[in-house]
Amino acid sequence: MPEYNNKNIVLHELIGLNVEVVKSLDIYQKGIRGKVIDETRNTLLVFTDEGSRKRVLKNISTFKFIAGKNRFIVPGEEIRFRPFERTEKGMKYFKRRRL
């Protein structure tokens, strides 16, 4: 498992991480929590604690990712890339984030 920190979370793989939607412009998406099971450019597919699948829009949400004992707050705009593009295009957000 990669070593996640507050700075590099925007560059790493998100599938498999636990997530919670802490803010969203869509009131029905706020509070969704579970495990990320798929990702597209604009959405995360979350397998919720209740056993259902919810698709959450990245650009209108703020996420709390949980990697082991660490928790990271990430605005959706910072991860709004295809997974394979994140390393290249996410560098501008990587440089702005603090450890």
Domain housing 52: 8-96
User: In angstroms, rounded to a whole number, what is the distance separating the alpha carbons of residues 35 and 87?
Assistant: 21
pLDDT at 52: 96
Per-residue pLDDT tens digits of the chain, which is 99 residues long: 568 888 888 888 899 999 999 999 999 999 999 999 999 999 999 999 999 999 999 999 999 999 888 899 999 998 998 888 877 777 777 777 776
- Let me know if residue 70 belongs to a domain: yes
- Let me know if residue 2 belongs to a domain: no
pLDDT at 1: 57
Q: Is pTM, for the whole model, over 0.85?
A: yes
- Let me know if residue 73 belongs to a domain: yes
pLDDT at 25: 96
Q: Shortest CA distance to 17 belongs to which of 31, 5, 32, 34?
A: 34
- Let me know if residue 76 belongs to a domain: yes
